[in-house]
Structure 1
Amino acid sequence: MRATTHNGRASRKGAYLAKHNDRRFDLDKAEHIDQDRTAKNIYWHCMMPEHPEMDFEQVEQAFYTHTFKDGLQAKNAMYKQHGNDKNIQTIEEYRRNPRSCPEEQIFMLGNKDFYIPVRTLEQICKEQLAWEEKEFPQVKVLDYAAHADEQGAPHIHIRRAWIGHDKAGNAVIGQNKALKEMGIERPNTSKPQTRYNNAKITYTRKCREHLIELCRGYGIDIEKQPKERSETGLTQTEYKARQEDKKAMAAELRQQAAEQAAATIKKEISEDEFDRELANFWGDIEKNDHLQELADIQAENNRLREENARQQAEINRLEAERKRQHESLLKLTSAKSEKAKELRKINYALEDKKTELDTVKDDLSCIKKDLEEVKGYLTEAQQNRTWELFNRWDDERTH
């Protein structure tokens, strides 16, 4: 059986919302959800023991406020001090920003044709997450939802926060910071960090190895080789998840480069000048991030246009096939009409022939009657000759 995971943070419409996962919206507007099976879904959040009544959005708002308020206030104060008010964020804006929102993972075992019950899937997931939080304490699971009311195999949406720290020790969102502080190294430390050589890969490998052993305890054999596909073979959801991973990693790398550059600058200028330059620098970074988002959106638009062109070509092919079949049907209809005309002509001719035969029969009947009347005036030889001629004429007219 294959274990499938997809990570992402946002779509073109913005950060993914937790309310989709715990079904806190109008389900009548969601055609892909079978409401008769929604009761089979399983929901959990990190404040369940104290506040089981809270929904996912409320839990995440409370967690962000409690955990990241100080770090965000320090960052906002720096922006305000140096006149970059446009970069100041509220805690809710921080939570919904694609660069600092929770990471969402979709976890599934099997496929639409072969899968395990949702409760077993949730139990495996719960044990796996308990191990992950113990092994990686700076990756905080905020909530998860096991869905059994959608098409395909049951799956789980897991939302987590990567917790790093700024120089003052304040908690901030940061995947690379968290991995570094937990001592997670990239697979090959002798080579530079790249998309194929970074700490997240080490983290993912360790998690997958533990999941394989965990599933084996449930009698489930997981394929050990992860499935790699080109971007042209991805579904739209998978493609977006991969693009968001690339974007998040690029943002983290830019942040690391910025911090290294800031450390170098700080050695050369005064503290006030450094703070001012740093605030301006971060403003430029965020501007560049917005430009990168626009570039990503353009790339997605290009991909969608290509897909639209492919679908349009298929529509044109189907339309040509429909036209060909329609023309063929018209020809058959025309041939049927001509055949019907011929049959009607034959029928009319038969009716005319029948009328003619009825007239002949009437004539024969009159002649026969006349012969009967004159029969007594003829000799026997004349009678025989007369009937012989009558029968011969009758045969010729009726045949």
Structure 2
Amino acid sequence: MKLTRHNGRVGKNGAYNPKHNDRSFNINNSEHINEERAKENIYWDCFNGYRTFYDKEKECELANTFEEVEELYYSIHYKDFIEGQNERNVKNRHPERNRTTSDILKHKKTCPEETIYQIGTLDNHISPDILLQIVTDFMIEITERFGTHVHILDWALHLDESTPHIHERHVFDCENQYGELFPQQEKALEKLGFDLPNPGKPSGRNNNRKMVFDSACRALLFDIAKSYGLHLEEEPEYGGRKYLEKQDYILTKQKEQLALQEEKLEELTMKIEDVEALIEEFADITYDKAVEVVTDAVKKETHLEDIRLVEESKNWVLSPERKASKKEREYAAKRLDGVIAKIKSAMQSAVQKIQNKLMQPEVKRAGTEQIKAKARTSVLSKLAKAKITADQKNMERISQTNTHSFRDNSL
């Protein structure tokens, strides 16, 4: 028999909805579900514990459905992150980026991961009791080993479809740089000590800690199943490329490359958002520093020029060539010294007025927008050049792939 452990988060309609798992919908409209056998299903969640079909009829104090359970869990555990991030968004003048815990519950990167467990097929499978014992032992072991960063939210044993199987949903999380708990898979697995399959290469779709984690889970699940006396096929269903025809393999490889490019594009988008936030955060600092430099320069240059002119007048008055008496000349020089003092005082007042003017909200806003525009233009220019280079490389890669494909077909 084959043991199947399949993971997923999103489908064509977005993040997976747990309504299917706890049957919180009208099953009369689903031909593949046996309504009578549905009463034998078993459910568990992190707030209510074990429940059956008949327990579901009772009103729960915290949450009735898996959907409500997950909403409540995210609200309790990730509220601090959402509030902190929203405050940072407002501070950086991007309130449109604000989210709720419901938003991250439904986002493809932060929603729970769903795993399906099944041993056997329609015609040959183990009993539901043994399946439940094996998967329960496995979940207990996972919680004991990795429960600090991997949290099982809910699961359901389905006996109302063709083959007994279990749907289980969990979330990976760890603290971010601000000490706020947040769903982030790779960081959580890094905290748990999982390395990249190829540590010397950058992290990506084909080189991430989740691959190592899944491999460890698969090995653990097989060990537990063997302890129940089961003899299972250990060749995974996925990745068996020896069963694919040559062209199927080529297409699969091309799809993997496209998926990798999509992931890189998403990472680039995140980096652009980071740059945008950085521009926002430091625009005020840049403007304030510019005001300080400009006013210092104005003060220095104007101050020195005015005093130089007065000093020249003073030297002219005191020169022996003047016909006025020494007393008159000394009096005039003293008066000029007074002028210099007044210039210094007036200049200080003028500098303060300039600073106050430049720091007025409307003036500062216009100035910071100019700074951001210049910085943004520079960043976008570099990204455009990088995109042209990437497009050229992609065209060369596609051309080479098509050439190799033609040669393979001609053999």
TM-score relative to the length of structure 1: 0.58
Q: In structure 2, how many angstroms separate the alpha carbons of the residues matched to 1:226 and 1:33?
A: 28
Q: In structure 2, how many angstroms separate the alpha carbons of the residues matched to 1:185 and 1:257?
A: 23
1:254 maps to 2:264: no
Q: In structure 2, how many angstroms separate the alpha carbons of the residues matched to 1:68 and 1:134?
A: 22
Distance 1:58 1:189, change over 3 A: same
How big is the shift at 1:252? Answer: 12
How big is the shift at 1:255? Answer: 8.6
Are the counterparts in 1 of residues 5 and 218 from structure 2 also a CA contact under 8 Å?
no
Aligned to 1:144: 155
How big is the shift at 1:215? Answer: 0.6
Distance 1:109 1:130, change over 3 A: same
Give 3-state SS (helix, strand or coil) of 1:115's partner: coil
Are the counterparts in 1 of residues 175 and 182 from structure 2 also a CA contact under 8 Å?
yes
Q: In structure 1, how many angstroms separate the alpha carbons of the residues matched to 2:116 and 2:234?
A: 19
Q: In structure 1, how many angstroms separate the alpha carbons of the residues matched to 2:240 and 2:10?
A: 21
Q: In structure 1, how many angstroms separate the alpha carbons of the residues matched to 2:203 and 2:17?
A: 31
1:70 maps to 2:83: no
Of 139, 144, 166, which residue of structure 2 is paired with 1:156? 166
Greater RCO, CA 8 A, separation 6+: 1
Aligned to 2:105: 95
Structure 2: which 5+ runs fail to align? 246-251, 287-368, 381-411
- List per-residue Cα deviations over 1:156-186 (Å, max 9, x = no partner): 1111011122101111111111111111102
Are the counterparts in 2 of residues 175 and 252 from structure 1 also a CA contact under 8 Å?
no
Residues 110-121 of structure 1: pairs in structure 2 closer than 5 A: 110-121=120-131
Aligned to 1:205: 215
Give 3-state SS (helix, strand or coil) of 1:160's partner: strand
Of 220, 225, 230, which residue of structure 1 is paired with 2:235? 225
Are the counterparts in 1 of residues 44 and 50 from structure 2 also a CA contact under 8 Å?
no
Distance 1:253 1:117, change over 3 A: farther
Distance 1:6 1:169, change over 3 A: same
Q: In structure 2, how many angstroms separate the alpha carbons of the residues matched to 1:60 and 1:255?
A: 30
Distance 1:111 1:168, change over 3 A: same
1:192 maps to 2:205: no
The one-letter code sitting in structure 2 at the alignment partner of 1:254 is E
Of 166, 173, 180, which residue of structure 1 is paired with 2:190? 180
RMSD: 3.8
The one-letter code sitting in structure 2 at the alignment partner of 1:250 is E
The one-letter code sitting in structure 1 at the alignment partner of 2:66 is F
Q: In structure 1, how many angstroms separate the alpha carbons of the residues matched to 2:116 and 2:38?
A: 18
Aligned to 1:17: 17
Are the counterparts in 1 of residues 43 and 50 from structure 2 also a CA contact under 8 Å?
no
Report the count of equivalent residues. Answer: 265
1:44 maps to 2:44: yes
Q: In structure 2, how many angstroms separate the alpha carbons of the residues matched to 1:101 and 1:252?
A: 20
Larger displacement relative to structure 2 (217-226 or 20-29): 217-226
The one-letter code sitting in structure 1 at the alignment partner of 2:19 is K
Identical pairs, percent: 30
Q: In structure 2, how many angstroms separate the alpha carbons of the residues matched to 1:142 and 1:204?
A: 18
Q: In structure 2, how many angstroms separate the alpha carbons of the residues matched to 1:232 and 1:32?
A: 30
- List per-residue Cα deviations over 1:4-32 (Å, max 9, x = no partner): 12211122222211121111111111121
Residues 331-342 of structure 1: pairs in structure 2 closer than 5 A: none
Give 3-state SS (helix, strand or coil) of 1:212's partner: helix
Q: In structure 2, how many angstroms separate the alpha carbons of the residues matched to 1:198 and 1:113?
A: 36
Q: In structure 2, how many angstroms separate the alpha carbons of the residues matched to 1:136 and 1:270?
A: 42
Aligned to 1:105: 115
Distance 1:50 1:149, change over 3 A: closer
TM-score relative to the length of structure 2: 0.57
How big is the shift at 1:218? Answer: 0.7
The one-letter code sitting in structure 1 at the alignment partner of 2:127 is P
Q: In structure 2, how many angstroms separate the alpha carbons of the residues matched to 1:158 and 1:106?
A: 6
How big is the shift at 1:50? Answer: 10
Aligned to 2:409: none
1:83 maps to 2:87: no
Q: In structure 1, how many angstroms separate the alpha carbons of the residues matched to 2:69 and 2:264?
A: 26
Distance 1:144 1:75, change over 3 A: same
How big is the shift at 1:269? Answer: 5.8
Structure 1: which 5+ runs fail to align? 234-238, 285-399
Aligned to 1:61: 71
